[in-house]
Amino acid sequence: MKKTILSILLASTVLFACNAKGTAEASKDSAKDAASKDTTTTTKPASKADISYAVGMALGKSVKDTGIELDYNAFLQGFKDNMESKKLKLTDEQASSYIQEAIAKAQEKKAADNKAKETRFMEDNGKKPGVKTTASGLQYEVISEGTGLKPQATDTVKVHYTGTLMDGTKFDSSIDRGEPATFPLDQVIPGWTEGIQLMSVGSKYKLYIPSSLAYGESGAGGVIPPNSPLIFEVELLGIEK
């Protein structure tokens, strides 16, 4: 347990390389074609500098994802001391403790920053023409109104949807999968349960769900950051009986 975080950071170098390998393999054929057309092209072997830079890229990506801010001189000194088997200033236990503490603080800061952004976003969005706000804080916009029945919270519904974050990043889409989603309405996030009950079958709405009606301060699965409002464009296809 003491070495878990350090191990993850180091293992990420291998993971980074494995992910990159897929891209390299996919482009191998086109590279061969290009080489066959230009016989002067040669592949330069990776130098020590190239490999060193690649390792730095992989470690840098992992550390960046944690949100930790680094003193680069101290970082490089620690890296060098370990690589050269010099006497280290910290024990493994101390290093793990410092890293865990830094990650926790970085996550707290990110959550606070997201909360401020969410507040501004929801306030500004609620002032836009056509956007309505319910008592819970859910906001919605009617894109097109259907003529069918409205579901109850205990119903199972079939929908097509696309979900994005407030910066426009798409995190999920039944349309991209090519298959509608079917689920009991009382077994999803509160924003969905409330929002879809406003819709008649055949309707298409845009739901702006505050984090309090979604995944809150915890976020979800590394995909939804903490304190993130979710934006869904939803088409209610039917109520399953």
Enzyme catalytic residues: 161, 171-172, 189, 215, 232
What angle separates helix 48-66 from helix 92-126, to the nearest 10 degrees? Answer: 60
Nearest partner of 199 among 165, 226, 156, 234, judged by Cα = 234
Nearest CA among 121, 124, 225 for reference residue 166:
121
Residue with token string 């845009």: 206
d(CA 149, CA 156): 13
For residue 35, give the 3-state DSSP assignment: helix
For the record, the structure tokens of 226 come out as 């903490």
E strands in the chain: 131-133, 139-144, 156-164, 170-173, 181-184, 204-209, 230-240
Beta strands in 53-178 (DSSP E): 131-133, 139-144, 156-164, 170-173
